[in-house]
Structure 1
Amino acid sequence: MPTSRERLLLQIVVAILSLIPLSAGAACVVLGPGFLQASAPWPVDLDSHLRFLSGVFFGVGLAFLSCVPAIERKGERFRLLSMLIVLGGLARLLSLVLAGSPSPGHVGGLVMELAVVPCLVVWQRRVARLRSRTGSAARRSPT
């Protein structure tokens, strides 16, 4: 696959997957625990904490989107954001072990956090390396 096509495909995938934290984060900021079909009343601290974390999740989605235009040059940011997601996935895995299996949507989140996101990091690094080689070759070739 040509480097430019692979880069474009990565950009499209990251842009689409960014919709997950953006939509889930926004919905949970607005709805609070009701987003999870929790029955009110719920503890005020739970509401506050969940809305805070959802705001952070929304921000992570925005930050991933900011990587899309020059994704081959945003490796550090991409890896930092990915590390945050993987750490969240590890916390979700701990919850699974301690509290039991969550709903299918949260199990899907766990797969995204601990499998898909690390694969995206490898893919981003590959695209960056390929673009770097292509750029170096273009600078060396006589015009």
Structure 2
Amino acid sequence: MEKRLLQIVVAIACLVPLSTGGRSVLFGPGFLRGVEAVPVDLDSHFRYVSGIFFALGVAFVTCIPAIERKGARFRLLGAMVVAGGSARFLSLVTVGVPSNGHVFGLAMELGVVPLLMAWQWSVERRARQR
């Protein structure tokens, strides 16, 4: 039962990088509040990073089946998210508080994902004991 609940929660959490990353790849930074035109290089970089974000969501989706056996992959992906969240936090401290969507992302990256990593590890450990 706990495994199934973890799978459902991870699937729901995957909607964030899949939807946001996909939309950002297709439409660039124009959907962000107050952004009308950006330099070509910034648009290119934004879409590149958004593609990585989307791929990260796809990679997390591959962990959902047999999630109790995907610990190494799950932790690697989670570490990538935490690294990105740490960079976002550095921006918050040095540049200022971003929009609500980015604050939500920060909460996911430095709060929810580490909790999911711990939960997955717990499910994996119990599965090994059986």
TM category, shorter: over 0.9
Provide TM-score, normalisation by structure 1: 0.88
Q: CA RMSD in A?
A: 0.9
- Moved runs in structure 1, 4+ residues, more than 3 A? none
| 2:84 is the counterpart of 1:88 | yes
Sequence identity of aligned pairs in percent? 58
Q: Distance in 2 between matches of 1:77 and 1:66?
A: 9
> Does the residue aligned with 2:62 lie in a helix, a strand or coil?
helix
| 2:49 is the counterpart of 1:62 | no
**CA offsets per residue over residues 43-88 of structure 1, 9 Å max, x none?**
0011000000000000000000000001000001000000000000
Partner of 2:100: 104
> Does the residue aligned with 2:36 lie in a helix, a strand or coil?
coil
Whether the 8 Å contact between 2:82 and 2:113 is mirrored in structure 1 is yes
Gaps in structure 2 of 5+ consecutive residues: none
Partner of 1:53: 49
Partner of 2:116: 120
| 2:51 is the counterpart of 1:34 | no
Whether the 8 Å contact between 2:30 and 2:37 is mirrored in structure 1 is no
Gaps in structure 1 of 5+ consecutive residues: 135-143
